[in-house]
Structure 1
């Protein structure tokens, strides 16, 4: 169980960092926020992958396609975060 949590955090950090590198613009996020972004992206990518392709954990929890889905999900989460944060800043 501990190995799963550690690998989830490391993969979240990697997916969040790649997403932040691929999306242009400045994001004042620290390492914990980047990990959170990657973990949220993993959930989004995993959910969309399951909906679109019907794969589940019996086929392996860690796959290259899962990492790609995590990065794509993190990009989507980052863009949504920017849209929401941008509106909030404009209103004040």
Structure 2
């Protein structure tokens, strides 16, 4: 059940990251969601593995948003070059 919550939080984090990230992203809703989920998964499990926070804390949501912003920014840099 925790993976499902992580995906839902990733979806929300992707939407928030897209709203927060400056500039114009040429991503559709599906790609924004997928990149948000990837950022959320990485930030959630990396933060828990490093002992920064436990599952179900508010810090995990903020880390998910930050992870999604980082993934969207990296995608933006890669997409500009091609």
What TM-score range do you get, normalising by the shorter chain? Answer: 0.7 to 0.9
The alignment's TM-score, normalised by the length of structure 1, stands at 0.71
Matches within 5 A, 1:1-92: 1=1, 4-5=3-4, 7-46=5-44, 47=46, 49-50=47-48, 53-55=50-52, 59=54, 61-88=55-82
Aligned CA distance change for structure 1 residues 34 and 54 (closer, same or farther; 3 Å): same
Where in structure 1 do 4 or more consecutive aligned residues deviate above 4 Å?
Answer: none
Q: Secondary structure at the match of 2:27?
A: coil
Gaps of 5+ in 1: none
Which structure 2 segments of 5+ residues have no match? none
Q: Which has the larger radius of gyration?
A: 1
